[in-house]
């Protein structure tokens, strides 16, 4: 059984194995031992802290096979994007150019560097092993953290954002980076993302153009890449779009990938999930898959289980599922349909 739980320092080697296979552009999951050690340490401190509002905390989860102990995926939440440094995006805008005497009225698409999304909670570090892409494991790895957010709303902002990795070819070249960022840094896209993963995105972002970029002046390939999703990030994009995230307003400043945004209260897994009491027994036949999470903090656990649950009634969990969640008869769990 696959179980989502908080990452521990003992997971470091397994997490680095996952990071080594993550696509270029996932700078929140660098293939670097020290950065990953710091990431897990920060997460452990965040889970242990008493928190009444969203601050500098970051929460890192892993997807573990309970039988083998092998990790099959990971994901995270940053409580406040840009807490210690601005969180930059390109905002999609329209400028109007008009000449009354010539009766010309043009609307021009422009990109404006901004940090509008600073302070929002940020979903990061998503990776699931390729054989599990498109399965319920992907849903658990992405949406399980949303159930954690639902259980502990005081730790997070009232809006959530996520940067989706944009298009780059098999050689790691990004048309958007080549048309914009490369004019300010004489390095390729893959190297830029590697530096961001090892250091910070801000030191590069601050050298990007601070005046609006007129999109029609960009090469066709760069324009076509705007808002496009890297094939290996498509599963994340699809899941979050079903969750109610919007994609029209912001793009990533490096590869032009979409930056999704949603009000926390409107996210499907939060708005439609329910907290119900537990009975331990044999689940009924003919059920459907549900994401199920306990309400704990450091001992947070989430799984996918086949349940024949009737709204307004307790949920019957198998002994195996109850043990995986660390709950017993009379405990409560949060669940939402897959």
The catalytic residues are: 230
> In terms of Cα–Cα distance, which of 127, 122, 186, 120 is closest to 157?
120
Element (DSSP H or E) covering residue 75: strand 71-78
> In terms of Cα–Cα distance, which of 139, 140, 145 is closest to 123?
145
Instruction: State the Cα–Cα distance between residues 325 and 100, nearest whole angstrom.
Output: 68
How many CB atoms are located within 10 Å of the residue 58 CB?
21
Instruction: State the Cα–Cα distance between residues 139 and 62, nearest whole angstrom.
Output: 13
187, with CB counted inside 10 A (0-12, 13-18, 19+), is: middle
Query: Which CA distances in Å does 242 have to 69, 236, 269?
Result: 30, 10, 10
Give me the helix-helix angle, 33-48 and 12-21, nearest 10°.
120
Which two three-digit tokens encode residue 179? 């048309």
> In terms of Cα–Cα distance, which of 319, 182, 185, 170 is closest to 256?
182
Q: What is the largest CA-CA distance in the chain?
A: 79
Question: Which of 72-97 are b and which e, b meaning 16 or more Cβ less than 10 Å from the residue's Cβ?
Answer: bbbbbbbbbbbbeebbbbbbbeeeee
How many CB atoms are located within 10 Å of the residue 173 CB?
15
Instruction: State the Cα–Cα distance between residues 139 and 63, nearest whole angstrom.
Output: 11
Which two three-digit tokens encode residue 28? 């929140």
């Amino acid at each position: 059984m696959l179980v989502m739980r908080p990452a521990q320092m003992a997971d470091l080697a397994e997490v680095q194995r996952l990071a080594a296979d993550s696509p270029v552009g996932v700078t929140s999951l660098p293939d670097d031992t020290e950065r990953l050690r710091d990431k897990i340490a920060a997460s452990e401190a965040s889970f242990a802290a008493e928190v009444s509002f969203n601050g500098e905390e970051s929460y890192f989860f892993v997807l573990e096979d309970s039988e083998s102990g092998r990790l099959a995926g990971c994901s995270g939440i940053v409580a406040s994007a840009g807490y210690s440094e601005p969180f930059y995006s390109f905002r999609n805008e329209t400028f109007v150019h008009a000449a009354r005497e010539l009766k010309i009225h043009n609307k021009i698409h422009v990109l404006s560097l901004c940090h509008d999304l600073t302070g929002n909670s940020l979903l990061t570090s998503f990776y699931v092993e390729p054989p599990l892409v498109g399965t319920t494991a992907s849903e658990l790895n992405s949406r399980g953290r949303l159930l954690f957010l639902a259980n502990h709303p005081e730790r997070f902002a009232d809006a959530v954002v996520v940067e989706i990795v944009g298009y780059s070819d098999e050689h790691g070249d990004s048309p958007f980076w080549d048309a914009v960022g490369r004019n300010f840094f004489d390095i390729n896209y893959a190297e830029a993302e590697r530096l961001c993963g090892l250091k910070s995105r801000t030191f590069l972002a601050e050298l990007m153009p601070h005046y609006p970029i007129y999109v029609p002046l960009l090469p066709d390939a760069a324009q076509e890449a705007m808002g496009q999703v890297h094939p290996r990030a498509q599963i994340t994009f699809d899941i979050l779009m079903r969750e109610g995230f919007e994609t029209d307003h912001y793009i990533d400043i490096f590869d032009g990938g979409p930056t999704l945004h949603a009000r926390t209260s409107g996210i499907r897994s939060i708005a439609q999930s329910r907290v119900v009491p537990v009975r331990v027994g044999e689940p009924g036949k003919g059920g459907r898959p549900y994401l199920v999470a306990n309400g704990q903090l450091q001992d947070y656990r989430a799984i996918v289980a086949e349940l024949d649950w009737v709204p307004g009634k307790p949920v019957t969990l198998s002994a195996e599922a109850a043990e995986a969640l660390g709950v017993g008869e009379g405990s409560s769990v949060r669940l939402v349909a897959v």
